[in-house]
Amino acid sequence: MKTDTRALAARGLAEVALRGASLRDVMERHAPRLADPRDRALLMALLSEGARWWLRFDAAIDGLLEKPLRHKDPAIHALLVLGLVQLEILELQDYASVAATVEATRALQRPQLTGLVNAVLRRWQREREGLLAKLDAKPQTRHAHPAWLAAALQRDWPEQVDAVMAADNREPPLMLRVNRQRSSREVLIEQLHAAGHRAEAHSWLGDALVMPHSTDVTRLPGFEDGLFAVQDGAAQVAADLADLRDGLRVLDACAAPGGKACHLLERADIDLTALEFDPERAERIRQNLMRLRLNAKLAIGDAGAPKGWWKGQPFDRILIDAPCSATGVLRRRPDVRLHRRESDIAAMQAQQRRILSALWPLLAPGGRLLYITCSVLRTENEAIVSELLANQPDAQAVAFTLPAGHAASVGWQILPGDDDLDGMYYAVLQKRF
What's the CA angle centered on 340, arms 331 and 360, to 5 degrees?
90
Rounded Cα gap, residues 146 and 104, in angstroms: 29
pLDDT score at 1 = 58
* Mean pLDDT of the 380-388 span: 98
Please determine, for residue 3, whether its predicted confidence score (pLDDT) is greater than 90: no
- Average pLDDT, whole number, for the chain? 96
Per-residue pLDDT band for 200 (boundaries 50, 70, 90) equals very high
pLDDT score at 322 = 97
pLDDT score at 66 = 87
pLDDT score at 380 = 98
- Counting beta carbons within 10 angstroms of the beta carbon of residue 278, is it exposed (0 to 12), middle (13 to 18) or buried (19 or more)? exposed
pLDDT score at 336 = 97
pLDDT in tens, 317-358: 999 999 999 999 999 999 999 999 999 999 999 999 999 999
Give the contacts of 17 (CB within 8 A, at least 6 positions apart): 50, 51, 54, 58, 78, 81, 335, 338
Rounded Cα gap, residues 31 and 36, in angstroms: 10
Please determine, for residue 416, whether its predicted confidence score (pLDDT) is greater than 90: yes
* Mean pLDDT of the 222-251 span: 97
Greatest Cα pair distance, the chain, in angstroms, is 75
- Distances, alpha carbon 143 to alpha carbons 54, 137, 151, 156, 346, in Å: 10, 10, 12, 17, 25
Please determine, for residue 167, whether its predicted confidence score (pLDDT) is greater than 70: yes
* Mean pLDDT of the 219-246 span: 97
Read off the amino acid at residue 172.
P
DSSP count for the chain of H helices, then E strands: 18, 13
pLDDT score at 91 = 86
Q: Which residue in 254, 262, 324, 374 is the catalytic one?
A: 374
pLDDT in tens, 35-51: 998 999 999 999 999 99
Rounded Cα gap, residues 372 and 392, in angstroms: 19
- 262 tagged catalytic: no
**What percentage of the chain reaches a pLDDT higher than 90?**
95
Helix (H) or strand (E) holding 201: strand 200-201
pLDDT score at 213 = 86
What is the reported pTM?
Answer: 0.94
Least confident of 63-72, 162-171, 233-242: 63-72
* Mean pLDDT of the 93-102 span: 93
Per-residue pLDDT band for 289 (boundaries 50, 70, 90) equals very high
Per-residue pLDDT band for 33 (boundaries 50, 70, 90) equals very high
Give the contacts of 357 (CB within 8 A, at least 6 positions apart): 388, 391
Helix (H) or strand (E) holding 414: strand 412-414
